[in-house]
Chains A and B, each alone.
Chain A
Amino acid sequence: MTGPEDTASHDLGAPTERVRVTSPRTDAMRQRRTTAASEIDAQTDLGEVYMTSLLRAQGRLAVQVLGVVVVVVGGLPLALRLESGLTTTMVLGMPLSWVVLAFGIYPVLWGLAWYYVRAAERNERDFVDVVERD
């Protein structure tokens, strides 16, 4: 897949190898530029930090979206039991509860999915930006 977002890394040439740096002030540090991608490949502590931050971001997003599902959809049976207005109000000849379950819930689910896809792709773009920066 080539998208507009992956044009940044091509000026680096051959893949960089792992470099042992003994002191931050040596010449090696200034000559060899390392990318976050190579840190991840070498499984350094820094590479793990990048991976953890991606996983955290995506995980947090998943928990947010599923949290809304649990509250809204999971709360519905309880609301239907406790709030009798939902079953006595009539819409289109049917109780409101029936209309919500049969028709109204689908746009909500789709809206959540749409939000998730956008946010997940944004998280990935942020990750790509960080990892491919010098």
Chain B
Amino acid sequence: MRSGYGVTAIVIVSLATLAIGAYGWRFSRTTSDFFVASRSVRPALNASAIGGEYLSAASFLGVAGLVLAFGADMLWYPVGWTAGYLVLLVLVAAPLRRSGAYTLPDFAEARLESRAVRSTSSVLVVAVGWLYLMPQFQGAGLSLGTVAGTDPWVGGVVVGIVVLVNVFFGGMRSITFVQAFQYWLKLTAILVPALFLLQVWLGDGAPSPADPSVAAGGIPGDVWANPLTSGNGYPLYTTYSLIIATFLGTMGLPHVVVRFYTNPDGRTARRTTLVVLGLLGLFYVVPPVYGALGRLYAPDLVASGATDTVVLELPSRMLPGLGGDLLSALTAAGAFAAFLSTSSGLTVAVAGVLSQDVTGRLFSGVRAFQAAAVVAVAVPLLMAVSAEGVGVARAVGLAFALAASTFCPLLVLGIWWRRLTDVGAISGMLAGGALAGTAVVVVLVDGTPPGLLGAVVSQPAAVTVPIAFCVMVLVSLATPSRLPANLSRTMVRLHTPESVDLDRGPLPP
């Protein structure tokens, strides 16, 4: 699907991103603007921004590709990415906002009153962030390659530069407007073509994608459409492990967490999350439609392994002429919006941590943030250019597993369990991080062993998350003398509504 329309659409999205960002630059004056938009973003705008930030390359391209290739089991990805927000809402949203901290390391330090916990969290935030940024740049290279025939690295560099320009001049305030715009762009870009495609399907009397006569990639339609049929021999384990990784990993993603500090208070943090859940559900019903129709109209993509491009290819294949080309261009624009918004959010989050813990010693205030942003983009861009070929959704899935094995226990126990100690938190995060991190490295170097061990390594959360929780609880119980001094005040701050006039202890620095 090479056409001038697709390139034009990508250029327009990039320019619109810069223009809307520039509108936000005028408001960005203080360090607080840069980090958290001075905590004054209303629920509707903030929810659009969270939705825009969250719907990444994996959501826009990866889900449809996975459904096309592997069938019903892959529907758990979008379900888990949505349900993750429900778990976040119930366990974390309001207390996290009320903690008053900027980043995850800030939260860890404020709750446990320990610099060592802070350092451990900082390293993990950067690791998760970079693991998540790398596939965004790779996906951008793939899309630009599909649309314009460029080398794989070009798309990643374009996205990196646009993100850096916006983050450099406007920080979080400017990013908020950009991302709110990009949610609605992405929804339009995936929904409108899908409606046309469904009309074509209903009109031309083609069979159901689940019909046994439809065979793409050697799998008959009825097998493809049924759950627990995908190939590694342990579909039930893989499904449950995926559920655990996505349900519990969302709360530990750095770009998701940082967004909550931009709410005015805990109550609005909850309401924002409720709107986000609606927006995500609205979006995620659409990608499976592309995956299913791809079985009928683009079965060759399964054989060639290019299923990630099905969203980009399908409109021009099903609708001949100008209409199909324009709709394909629209999906290309949406895909690029996905790379831009998720990369922006991750860059802000990683740069926020780096600037407080690394570059803050070299520069001050906004300068430190800008220096950190350069590092935050450059490293994963180099990773993406040098390590090609790891699937987009696969790398993102590993980032979820790593987040679920480290930050989920820290947040849940930190908020709900008084007896958590700094030593316990560090031990738990190191145990979960080391195990999940080993699995990540094994998958990235393509050394996945066969059998049940292979199923565990490629989807480790069902093993690593319980271990991380257990280590954190047991070590905390063994070190009761390490309880933080201001524990009671901190619990008051986390859980009481802001309208009550209470002594909440000093705010975190």
Contact = CB atoms under 8 A, between A and B. Distances in A.
Given A51-B491, A66-B90, A113-B89, A106 B82 contact: yes
A106 B89 contact: no
Contacts of A105: 79
B38 interface: no
B501 interface: yes
Contacts, number: 149
A71 to B, nearest CB: 13
A21 interface: no
A66 B274 contact: no
Contacts of A101: 72, 75-76, 79, 227
Interface string B111-125: 000000000000000
B500 A94 contact: no
Interface in B232-254: 236, 239-240, 243, 247
A27 interface: no
B47 to A, nearest CB: 12
The main secondary structure of chain A at its interface with chain B is: helix
Interface stretch (B264-272, B345-353, B364-372): B264-272
B227 A80 contact: yes
A87 B91 contact: no
Interface residues of B, number: 54
Interface string A1-32: 11101100100000100000000000000000
A105 to B, nearest CB: 5
B108 interface: no
A127 B495 CA distance: 11
Interface residues of A, number: 55
Nearest to B498: A1
A19 to B, nearest CB: 16
Interface in A71-114: 73-74, 77-78, 80-81, 87, 90, 93-95, 97-98, 101-103, 105-107, 109-110, 112-114
Contacts of A48: 488
Nearest to B488: A43
A24 B187 CA distance: 65
B68 interface: no
Interface string B275-314: 0011001101100100010000000000000000000000
Contact of B501 (A9, A66, A93, A98): A9
A102 B416 CA distance: 33
A69 B503 CA distance: 36
Contacts of B86: 65, 69, 109, 112-113, 116
Contacts of B265: 1
Given A40-B502, A77-B239, A128 B277 contact: no
A69 B87 contact: yes
B496 A54 contact: yes
Interface string A109-134: 11011101100110010011001100
Contacts of A40: 492, 496, 502-503
B199 interface: no
A95 B243 contact: no
B217 interface: no
B226 A97 contact: yes
A3 B79 CA distance: 35
A110 B277 contact: yes
A41 B76 CA distance: 46
Contacts of B243: 73-74, 77
B497 A124 contact: yes
A132 B90 CA distance: 26
A74 B236 CA distance: 11
Given A43-B488, A110-B281, A117 B274 contact: yes
Nearest to A79: B227
A46 interface: no
Given A87-B225, A107-B281, A109-B86, 20 more contacts: A37-B502, A48-B488, A54-B495, A62-B91, A62-B416, A77-B227, A77-B236, A90-B210, A94-B210, A95-B210, A95-B226, A98-B210, A101-B72, A106-B79, A106-B82, A106-B285, A110-B277, A117-B273, A120-B270, A127-B496
12 contacts: A6-B500, A48-B488, A69-B87, A77-B227, A93-B208, A98-B72, A102-B75, A116-B86, A117-B89, A124-B497, A127-B500, A131-B502
Interface of B: 72, 75-76, 79, 82-83, 85-87, 89-91, 94, 208-210, 225-228, 236, 239-240, 243, 247, 264-265, 267, 270-271, 273-274, 277-278, 281-282, 284-285, 288, 292, 416, 488-489, 491-492, 495-503
